[in-house]
């Protein structure tokens, strides 16, 4: 059976990490027996980093999420790895401008690979809620702007002021991205928790924006005392909202798992095998035909609200538990009674 690409990358990542560890131990214990340890160690580390970046692109490509970005990221990872290996192992070029050009092109490929992996990671997150979609679009926009900024900085003769502020902005946005991904994974289903998550996302985004403003406009900003107090308030509110939202989301998931279905697990379904046409009864799950041994999978899934409430026989168009609007395909449609059917059907012989 053909091994998936992400599995191959994972195994290669494991092998490269093991090689880096072995070379590190060898360099410490017997450095005289391992020639060019630094170059080998650097090459293995670069391969591990490239494999790690490519994993996000492969996952997005396999799930059909942003395939052009994923393909671009894979090509950038491969080209960047080759360029870095050439820089490590090739002799020094004859002129400085050639060396500078090669290094700048390699850095551009690295920026493109990191940007593609970040975008693919963002696109892989769930977007059932409008809040998730808004945060996703905002994250894609911000990371694209940061990537463009660093791509431009590489080619211009910028001083340390621009570079350091760019690095600070990049780390701030990376921290904001990690926090956003965690928040999108722990969105409470109940309405009050969802509102709290919205407010927390707004405060956390404001905290990141305030940090960026401090990085770029510190000389024209508020006194240090005001900085400290405002930052402390934003950090406390963000941390509190994040923890409470995560706890509420975990509570909702636990209640959803423990809620009893209206259909018992041992329910049997009468069906006819599509291959040998043998009538038989089967349980939910994986089964085999009693005659031709055809594998048949039966999946029973009852309609539930996002909060986990079972919608079987739920009246109305809103969830009785959280008040959300029930999608039309999940609403309960009671069968008309025999009396109603008799009243609606025309009498015999009527035209």
3-state DSSP of the chain: CCCCHHHHHHHHHHHHHHHHHHHHHHHHHCHHHCCCHHHHHHHHHHHHHHHHHHHHHHHHHHCCCCHHHHHHHHHHHHHHHHHHHHHHHCCCCCCHHHHHHHHHHHHHHHHHHHHHHHHHHHHCCCCCCHHHHHHHHHHHHHHHHHHHHHHHHHHCCCCHHHHHHHHHHHHHHHHHHHHHHHHHHCCCCCHHHHHHHHHHHHHHHHHHHHHHHHHHHHHHCCCHHHHHHHHHHHHHHHHHHHHHHHHHHHHHHHHHHHCCCCCCCCCEEEEECCCCCCEEEEECEEEECCCCCCEEEECCCCCECCCCCECCCCCCCECCCCCCECCHHHCCCCCCCHHHHHHHCCCCCCC
Token code pair at residue 314: 């739920």
End residue of a domain, out of 98, 124, 150: 124
pLDDT score for 221: 60
187 lies in some domain: yes
End residue of a domain, out of 97, 124, 151: 124
Closest CA to 321 of 336, 337, 305, 300: 305
342 lies in some domain: no
346 lies in some domain: no
46 lies in some domain: yes
pLDDT score for 349: 44
Q: What are phi and psi of 310, to 5 degrees?
A: -75, 125
- 174 in the same domain as 79: no
- 72 in the same domain as 135: no
Q: Is the dihedral of CA 101, 102, 105, 111 positive or negative?
A: negative
335 lies in some domain: no
- 232 in the same domain as 293: no
165 lies in some domain: yes
- 133 in the same domain as 107: no
Q: What total of structural domains would you count in the chain? A: 3
Q: pLDDT 10s digit of each residue in the chain, 351 long?
A: 445 666 777 777 777 778 777 777 776 676 665 566 677 778 878 888 888 888 888 888 888 888 888 899 889 988 998 898 888 887 766 567 778 888 889 988 999 999 898 888 888 876 666 667 777 788 788 888 888 888 888 887 666 677 777 778 878 877 887 787 777 767 665 666 778 888 888 898 888 888 888 887 766 566 667 777 888 888 899 888 888 887 877 776 666 555 555 566 567 888 899 989 899 988 877 888 988 989 888 877 778 776 667 777 777 778 776 667 788 877 877 555 443 444 444 444 444
Q: Tell me how far apart the alpha carbons of residues 284 and 103 are, in angstroms, rounded to a whole number.
A: 59
Q: Across the strands, what pairs with 287?
A: 296
Token code pair at residue 304: 């539930």
- 67 in the same domain as 33: yes
- 234 in the same domain as 171: yes
End residue of a domain, out of 105, 124, 143: 124
Is 55 within 8 Å of 10 (Cβ atoms)? yes
Q: Tell me how far apart the alpha carbons of residues 157 and 265 are, in angstroms, rounded to a whole number.
A: 68
Is 112 within 8 Å of 73 (Cβ atoms)? yes
Is 306 within 8 Å of 189 (Cβ atoms)? yes
Token code pair at residue 20: 């880096």
Distance of CA 254 to the CA centre of its chain: 22
Can you give the pTM of this predicted structure? Answer: 0.58
Domain span holding position 253: 129-257
Is 99 within 8 Å of 158 (Cβ atoms)? no
pLDDT score for 4: 62
233 lies in some domain: yes
Residues 6+ apart with CB under 8 A from 250: 186
Q: Is the dihedral of CA 286, 288, 294, 300 positive or negative?
A: negative
Dihedral class, residue 316 (left if φ above 0, else alpha if ψ from -120 to 50, else beta): left
- 69 in the same domain as 8: yes
- 111 in the same domain as 201: no
- 133 in the same domain as 118: no
348 lies in some domain: no
Q: Tell me how far apart the alpha carbons of residues 236 and 176 are, in angstroms, rounded to a whole number.
A: 15
């Amino acid at each position: 059976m053909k091994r998936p690409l992400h599995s191959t990358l994972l195994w290669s990542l494991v092998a490269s990490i093991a090689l880096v560890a072995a070379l590190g131990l060898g360099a410490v214990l017997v450095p005289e027996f391992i020639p060019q340890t630094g170059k080998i160690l650097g090459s293995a580390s670069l391969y591990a980093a490239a494999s790690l970046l490519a994993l996000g692109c492969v996952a997005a490509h396999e799930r059909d999420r942003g395939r052009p970005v994923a393909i671009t990221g894979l090509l950038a990872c491969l080209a960047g790895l080759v360029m870095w290996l050439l820089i490590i192992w090739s002799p020094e070029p004859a002129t400085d401008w050639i060396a500078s050009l090669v290094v700048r092109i390699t850095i551009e490929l690295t920026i493109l690979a990191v940007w593609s992996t970040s975008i693919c990671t963002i696109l892989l997150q769930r977007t059932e809620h409008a809040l998730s979609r808004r945060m996703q679009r905002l994250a894609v926009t911000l990371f694209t702007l940061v990537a463009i900024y660093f791509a431009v900085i590489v080619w211009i003769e910028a001083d340390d002021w621009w570079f350091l502020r760019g690095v600070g902005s990049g780390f701030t946005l990376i921290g904001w991205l990690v926090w956003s991904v965690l928040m999108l994974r722990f969105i409470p289903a109940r309405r009050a928790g969802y509102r709290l998550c919205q407010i927390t996302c707004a405060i956390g985004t404001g905290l990141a924006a305030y940090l960026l403003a401090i990085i770029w406009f510190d000389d024209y900003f508020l006194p240090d005392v005001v900085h400290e107090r405002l930052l402390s308030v934003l950090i406390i509110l963000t941390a509190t909202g994040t923890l409470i939202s995560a706890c509420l989301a975990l509570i909702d998931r636990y209640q959803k798992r423990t809620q009893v279905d209206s259909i018992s697990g041992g329910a049997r379904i009468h069906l006819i095998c599509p291959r040998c046409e043998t009538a038989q009864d089967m349980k939910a799950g994986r089964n085999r035909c009693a005659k031709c041994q055809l594998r048949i999978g039966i999946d029973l899934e009852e309609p539930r609200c996002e909060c986990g409430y079972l919608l079987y026989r739920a009246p109305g168009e809103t969830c009785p538990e959280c008040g959300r609007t029930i999608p039309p395909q999940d609403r309960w449609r009671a069968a008309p009674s025999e009396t109603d059917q008799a009243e609606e059907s025309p009498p015999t012989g009527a035209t």
